[in-house]
Chain A
């Protein structure tokens, strides 16, 4: 892959670097929730993420955009532990989680919805919804949480329907609901509105905003729909060729000519 010539050779610590590795290692807490340090992922000879320092503050809602193949999904999968990092470290809540198993990361508060929806097709909506919740809630509390999760996903009345029979949008809603019901501190969403109709997009935008504002959940959202991005996020990070290309408020990023050229298209 050819390097973009506008890419600055050495990047100053951008606004996104919340905390240095040294700070992380000594456990000096700031409001930084997630910080990657020089994260590299190679597939064979191909480098999908290249020395990425990506940070998210507590309660922040950050969108991750960038061209197809930029390494966005890969970055999130490194954070969840689905992929093992080739190099670099991941710090979360003051701890180095680079070597933790995926389920341990989840138990510490990281939750993710993958790009391709994969609800448990043969289980009913209610069983799907109960699964994350039963890990930590019992009895009446559990029932209540399950009910709330189903309601928030707009699936009241579908409790006993097999999840495979839901529409695409409903499955996305259910997935977000399940990921959110773990009450994570950090929720990662990979293209939550791809393939959804306008009404559903709005519903999800509203949902994400509410979870972020009311429950204080920090988000990283990957999305190609820039209108959607604009409607939920203030800050975006642009990834390109596996590297952080630009970060900043959505309006500034959209106006950046280089971003327009590599990602948005000239005429936008």
Chain B
């Protein structure tokens, strides 16, 4: 039986999950052209750092989440310096044999995929070796709200609010701030950006840190609702890529829209036919969307806008 409130909450739940899964990836893949197969493991870092600071250091949950986000951002900087931009190996190379060892992975989709796949193997097994097969979890805050025969976790409603706020924030940063414009310019044409006085190294580092930090925040936010195991990142990966790509060229807006569309489809099908059909419908919808909107949702919107203008 379909109940309106259930459906709405289910939609918010799916929407938040998709958007939060995709947020960090939208930056790292959508803006920097790096297919980060270790995206799930960045989320893992955030989730573990949050959980451990709450359970071991006794930090309040909000503070622990902040720690989780920052730790992941810092980790992202390290990955960026050592692997993605190759700055550290190249620094060593310049000083030892007088040449660069590696080429940056920016905009090299497949190569970045292999490198980050390797990284993800290292991170998952590394987490296992260091922390064991699981760590103790923190409880979910805020209790629940009840309506009629039903009740719902308040925290999951809060999550959807956070996901919307996050989208707005990221959208603002990348389209309205000077940093955002510079970052986009740097990715489009690094050489010219440098000739215009942009310290592109710093931009890359900052952008990767933001993307990683967002993945960390996702981990932090979901830590209270999931079980803490080294493979926990896996569950986010497919939704993340699908959402970002279905979104199309304007990554942030696109992620919001695909989160909305795919979330709605999943919610309706889950409510009507159960979880299995919800999931299949989500995947099928993604394929159809990509086929009929070859430039993603935002590409489609641009086309519609120009058609409308033509009509005027």
Q: Do chains A and B touch in the complex (CB under 8 A)?
A: yes
The residue of chain A having its C-beta at the shortest distance from the C-beta of B303 within the complex is A44
- In the assembled complex, the CB of A40 is this many whole angstroms from the nearest CB of chain B, namely 10
Is A68 an interface residue, CB under 8 A from the partner?
no
- Docked Cα-Cα span, A205 to B305, in Å, equals 43
B residues in contact with A43, CB < 8 Å: 306
B residues in contact with A44, CB < 8 Å: 305-306, 309-310
Is B312 an interface residue, CB under 8 A from the partner?
yes
Chain B residues numbered 283-312 whose CB sits less than 8 Å from any CB in chain A: 305-306, 309-310, 312
Per-residue B-contact encoding for A5-44, CB less than 8 Å = 1, 0 else:
0000000000000000000000000000000000000111
- Label chain A's interface by main secondary structure: loop
A residues in contact with B309, CB < 8 Å: 44-45
Total contacting residues, chain B, CB less than 8 A: 5
Is A86 an interface residue, CB under 8 A from the partner?
yes
- Label chain B's interface by main secondary structure: helix
- Docked Cα-Cα span, A9 to B305, in Å, equals 30
A residues in contact with B310, CB < 8 Å: 42, 44-45, 86
- In the assembled complex, the CB of A43 is this many whole angstroms from the nearest CB of chain B, namely 7
- In the assembled complex, the CB of B237 is this many whole angstroms from the nearest CB of chain A, namely 32
- In the assembled complex, the CB of B305 is this many whole angstroms from the nearest CB of chain A, namely 7
- In the assembled complex, the CB of B306 is this many whole angstroms from the nearest CB of chain A, namely 4
- In the assembled complex, the CB of B289 is this many whole angstroms from the nearest CB of chain A, namely 22
- In the assembled complex, the CB of A46 is this many whole angstroms from the nearest CB of chain B, namely 8
Most buried by B among A43, A45, A86: A45
A residues in contact with B312, CB < 8 Å: 45
- In the assembled complex, the CB of B108 is this many whole angstroms from the nearest CB of chain A, namely 15
- In the assembled complex, the CB of A242 is this many whole angstroms from the nearest CB of chain B, namely 14
- Docked Cα-Cα span, A86 to B305, in Å, equals 15
The residue of chain A having its C-beta at the shortest distance from the C-beta of B306 within the complex is A44
Chain A residues numbered 68-112 whose CB sits less than 8 Å from any CB in chain B: 86
- Docked Cα-Cα span, A121 to B25, in Å, equals 32
- Docked Cα-Cα span, A86 to B309, in Å, equals 13
Q: List 12 A-B contacts (CB under 8 A).
A: A42-B306, A42-B310, A43-B306, A44-B305, A44-B306, A44-B309, A44-B310, A45-B306, A45-B309, A45-B310, A45-B312, A86-B310
Q: Which 5 A-B pairs have the closest CB atoms?
A: A45-B309, A44-B306, A44-B309, A42-B310, A45-B312
Beyond the given pairs A43-B306, A44-B309, A45-B306, 9 more chain A to chain B contacts, judged by CB atoms under 8 angstroms and listed by A's residue number, are A42-B306, A42-B310, A44-B305, A44-B306, A44-B310, A45-B309, A45-B310, A45-B312, A86-B310
